[in-house]
Amino acid sequence: METRNAIRSSSTCRSLVVVLLAAVAMFVAPNQTFAQPIKIGRTTGGSGFHIPSYVAMDKGILKQEGLDAVFVAATGGVLVRAAIAKEIDFVPIPGGGSQAMLIGAPLVFIVGQSLISQWTLTTTPDIKRVEDLRGKTLGLGRPGSADYEELVVTLAQHFKMQPGRDYKVIAFTGEPDRIAALLNGSIQGGAVTFPHAARAEKEGMKILFKTGDYIPRLGGSMLTHKDNVRDKRDMMKRFIRAMAKADDYVRTNKKGTMEVIQKYFEIDDPAVVEGIYKQVANAYSPDLPRDLIKALFESRTTPELGWPKGKPLPDLEQFVARDLLNEVLKEMGRKPSK
């Protein structure tokens, strides 16, 4: 009898241990850290399009999702090629990424950042109107990048000005270099995002126009290799959640976001930092709206960028991990974009 009771007691204990271990596993799983750090691309020099990713990193949001993340800084083209080679997990280069997708690169967009264009054409104070740029030199990104394409397309479509014919172009990899060139007079205009434009204004430069007034824009949208969506679904979901939480943080935590802006843009003046925050506070969303996806790809299929005239776009939803993004947003109690 005692033996049977001992066996029964031992069995009960084992059952309790199994239940407790399962409960612990359920508690720990959301915060488990992956064995290898995930790599997130960022451009050389801060970008206003990418502030949510800076917040997710610096404010511990990625760690809360169990992601041990590191930034890898490089130019946009290098980042896109690294994503294709699976050397970087997430890359915030929608312009170059969409162009690569159109020629067969195995990439997909997974989560958004900015829903408005933050590029400006910032000029020396003697430039009073766009027409004054004739014969002048502009500092843009490399051909094919967003900081080249958006400015060239805006000038061509809305002001009938063409590079080479009406103005000269010098390619700069980083926005801080363009500000320095403006200040020393090497160029008369440069493509810079809101944070750098605010800094330039402090130095006496002026914002001639914002491309967002002319072109609808997804900015900083994160892309990844298609295989990651298939093979690393849990990691992908955690990353999407972290980015969505970072968007909320930017919108609701002014002080913390200003700390991040001050760090990544190396701005000491609190008034300038606050001005940047006011410009971008409501600019971000994890969504990838279909109309803006269409506008993004249409912006890559212009004669100025070498797309054959009259050639139609393919089905663009093949380039978006829509089901995965919507799944995460629904789990978070959010309504996915239509």
pLDDT of 154 higher than 70: yes
User: Which residues fall within 8 angstroms of residue 259, CB to CB, at 6 or more apart?
Assistant: 58
pLDDT at 216: 67
User: Could you give the residue range(s) of every CATH 3.40.190.10 domain in the chain?
Assistant: 33-116+218-331, 119-213
| Rounded mean pLDDT, 46-61 | 95
Mean model confidence pLDDT for the chain: 87
- Express as a percent the part of the chain with pLDDT over 70: 88
| Rounded mean pLDDT, 313-318 | 95
| Rounded mean pLDDT, 154-180 | 93
pLDDT per residue over 88-114, tens digit each?
999 999 988 998 999 999 999 999 999
pLDDT at 69: 97
Choice between 288 and 303, residue whose per-residue pLDDT is larger: 288
pLDDT per residue over 9-53, tens digit each?
444 444 444 433 344 333 434 455 565 689 999 998 888 899 999
User: Which one, of 26, 10, 9, 67, lies nearest residue 239 by Cα?
Assistant: 67
| Rounded mean pLDDT, 123-152 | 92
DSSP string over 126-171: T--SGGGGTT-EEEE--TTSHHHHHHHHHHHHHH---BTTTBEEEE
Bridge-partner residues for 140, per DSSP?
171
Q: 119-213 domain in CATH 3.30.230.10?
A: no
pLDDT per residue over 270-290, tens digit each?
988 998 898 889 989 999 999
| Rounded mean pLDDT, 165-178 | 92
**215 — pLDDT class (breaks 50, 70, 90):** confident
Q: 33-116+218-331 domain in CATH 3.40.50.10320?
A: no
Give the CA distances from residue 50 to residues 71, 117, 250, in Å, rounded to whole numbers and listed in that order. 12, 12, 11
pLDDT at 16: 41
Q: How far apart are CA 314 and CA 23, in angstroms?
A: 48
- The reported pTM is 0.75
